[in-house]
Structure 1
């Protein structure tokens, strides 16, 4: 009887040990989420005492450690963002300085270039515009003439294609008739040969 009781105590101890390990594994898994979920889990697993919540010390230590880790991570990210912002501010300032220099040079060029250089000769902007529009007009006229010639060539090509197709059709008809005639003559020749063979027998 005593051995039976010892065996029951042993089984109870092993079962209790496995249950505690399972609870600890579930607790660690639940304490690995976001801080909000971890706090919710701690509140859910806490015991009630009057209007208070009794929280396990291990939960508080894990929450403290995770909170400090999150704070340190946020501090590091904030420092990185500050450095990045500082670098961007420096780049923006450099771009502003470059833009200011470029604008100054552009203003000088606008003032200096009242005339336009065309093939090395300075001419007024009005004459330059007239020359350019004249060149564009001539090019457009050449393009229109070329399109009309292309249209005529296309029409000629289409007519030639139609004539070729008609010629091919006529040739196919001629071949068909010649084949029929050849077959007819072949049959007549065979008939004559058959008649000649019968008469010679």
Structure 2
């Protein structure tokens, strides 16, 4: 009996020692659940092929597990909230970027285009068009100026010819008048001579 008592005491002390070692799985430290489970499994007492774990240790592991799951769920919810906030920030930033791009496109369009009489032209096309119109106007002015010079020259020649003809006509009239006067005098002289001859 004494021997049985000693064996019983050894078993109780071994069980208590094993259970106190299994309590190490519940200590507050930085171990993961997997590590705690391994410690609990390794340090718990074995009976035949079964592991004997005290109920309070299982309850403690259950509490740690549910706390870990709650913590993970809380972190997940926080991460989702943060992700939603980041998504909102990203959407706002994307909207701002799109607005700036649209504004930049408007500025770029305004920098490269010009509106004249309600029609849009690129500035290079408009400059070419204005240059072409100016060149056409210069050519037209040159043609009109040349034509006016030709008309002026022709008019001057006609006026010179008219002046020459007018002078010649005046000379002719003067000579004809002189001739007529001379003939009138000669006729008068002849009449006078004839009248003298008649009277004589």
Higher relative contact order (CA 8 A, sep 6+): 2
Which TM-score band (shorter chain)?
0.3 to 0.5
